Amino acid sequence: MALRVYTAISFIFFFCQSHLFAQTVAFDQNRNLIEFGLVNSGKTIANYRLEKASGDFSIYLKDENLNNINFFETNLGNGIRHLAWDLLDGYVVFVASGDPFQTSRKTILLGHLETGSFQKFSFNSSIMIPSKIKAIKNGVVIQMSIEGGCLLEIYDFEMQSVQTVTELLGSNLRVVDMNGGEHSDVLILEEKKDFNQSLQVVSYDHQGIRVMNIKVDLPFKEKSYIQQAKLVDFGEGIRIVGTYSHKKGEWFSGYFDLLIDEEMKTHFETFRFRDFEGFYDYRKSPPKKVRKRLNKEVHLVDAVSDGQSVAMAAVFPSYDRKFIHFIQIDAEGKKVFDKSVKVYYNTSLLWSPYHFTLDKGTLYFAYRGNQNRRNPPGEKIFMLEKDIHSKDLEIRRLVVRKDKLWKIDVPNYQYWYNGKFLVYGVSRTQPSSPGKPVFIVEAIDADE
């Protein structure tokens, strides 16, 4: 039972930090449900609007000054229940799903963010509501997770056909992550009969052909169990990071880092909870008994990479323990630093918008949080970086106050480029459109 609860909480965390969490839904003055969202592809971005009942969809492409440079509109079909998107090499792929009890049709939009050209495809699908989609070369992968593994549908843009992959179904299999790119990499956690575990990475191309299958038994020095695992983009090879425990289903014991290089050799490191330097810096004099109690609740929020190093962030779901723990690992699998940062929320971080990323060795974390004497109003950006010369960890906090952003009730965040963040959401307080939901996007700079 404890393992099922843990798995459910872990799924919610990864669900919340996905693109779905960054979408905003609001009713217009006619009680029509409208979905807004932001697509970010480097210096070119786009904001979209979907009226779910009618299926009317529009997207505005913007330059780096946030001026509109192109526009596209179409209809995705009546009664859209779910819209997901992903990016690859300047292209955006939208997958729209209707009511699964009324239609099996799905609509795909493939668009180029530089030229503003879009193509529309539709097909009959066996997947009701996608758990995740990933763009790959010449195709898109649609995943539906179930209790025993997952079902994949791979749509081929060249042939305009769909392939269904069922070989990942099995009561002992759990899909924990999926990446796009040249191929789709699916990360599977296999539970064996002797209670041991192994990780498996299976890759498919746009025709649904399996091009790689790697199984790894993690070489833990003592009996350990994988809690959460995530694929990270890291140049050549495959890199998997996550959390593990010595007691199955609970008790966070540390992070792990696994690299499978081009020669299929594995490099494995663990970072033990007991060795962390910054886990309790937010407390003045934490007794050891508190340490033992606290590590029972740790959950991985996200793992990110800038191609040179990897960073992970973990939190406590409990509302009264409002801090986030960061760890950065270099290309060789050695710890750069770990540090806890105090954050302030009215409720758990689980239900609050934030963004976590790594760029050129600097770790960024953006959020708003609640207001109190230690947490002034405005958008907060934490920057953590190890000084090259002194080797000291530099921690900076920037508070950005912009009147335009206070019109957004629930702001969302996306890292843009060169220390810039995009803050966006829906406002109903525009004088020119009273009561009408208006999408707002504004850039803030961490170097201000």
Summarize pLDDT for 264-274 with one digit per residue, the tens.
889 999 999 88
C-alpha Rg value of the chain to the nearest Å: 22
Q: Please check whether residue 42 is in contact with residue 62, taking contact to mean a CB–CB distance below 8 angstroms.
A: no
* Co-location of 225 and 213 in the same domain: no
Residue 103 lies in a domain: no
Of 217, 251, 271, the domain-final residue: 217
Q: Of 193, 217, 241, which residue sits at a domain end?
A: 217
Task: Tell me, yes or no, whether 395 lies in a domain.
Answer: yes
More confident residue, 384 or 247: 384
**Number of domains forming the structure of the chain:** 2
211/230 same-domain check? no
Dist CA 327 CA 255 (whole Å) = 9
Task: Give me 102's structure tokens.
Answer: 């009324």
Domain C-terminal end among 196, 217, 238:
217
Instruction: Check whether 102 has a pLDDT greater than 60.
Output: yes
| Shared-domain flag, residues 234 and 369 | yes
Predicted TM-score (pTM) of the model is: 0.88
Q: What is the pLDDT of residues 175-219, one digit of tens each?
A: 899 999 999 999 999 888 777 899 999 999 999 999 999 999 888
Running DSSP on this structure, what letter comes out for residue 416? -
Closest by Cα among 30, 68, 24 to 49: 24
Question: Is residue 279 included in any domain, yes or no?
Answer: yes
**The pair of three-digit structure tokens given for residue 290, joined into one six-digit string:** 């508190």
| 24 falls within a domain | no
Q: Which of 80-89, 316-325, 413-422 has the lowest mean pLDDT?
A: 316-325
With a cut of 50, say whether residue 4 has pLDDT above it.
no
Confidence grade of residue 27 (pLDDT, cut at 50, 70, 90): confident
* Among candidate residues 399, 230, 222, the one with its CA nearest the CA of residue 299: 230
5 is a domain residue: no
94, 242, 316, 378, 401 from 365: Cα distances, Å: 27, 19, 16, 14, 17
Grade residue 20 by pLDDT with cuts at 50, 70 and 90: very low
Could you say which DSSP state residue 183 is in? S
User: Which structural domain range is residue 232 located in?
Assistant: 220-448
410 and 294 together in one domain: yes
**AA identity, residue 74:** T
Distance separating alpha carbons of residues 421 and 410, to the nearest angstrom: 16
Closest CA to 327 of 302, 360, 354: 302
Residue 168 sits in the same domain as residue 281? no
User: What pLDDT sits at residue 199?
Assistant: 94
**211 & 234 share domain:** no
Inside any domain, residue 405: yes
Closest CA to 44 of 20, 22, 65: 65
Residues in contact with 405: Cβ distance below 8 Å, sequence separation at least 6, in sequence order: 379, 411, 423, 440, 442, 444
Identify whether residues 211 and 226 lie together within a single domain: no
Q: d(Cα 107, Cα 122) in Å, to the nearest integer?
A: 4
| Residue 240 clears pLDDT 50, i.e. is over it | yes
At 148, the pLDDT band (50, 70, 90 cuts) reads confident
Q: Are 186 and 309 part of one and the same domain?
A: no
For residues 328 and 240, membership in a common domain is answered with: yes
Residue 292 lies in a domain: yes
Residue 24: name the closest of 430, 423, 446, 445 by CA: 423
Query: What's the mean per-residue pLDDT of the chain?
Result: 85
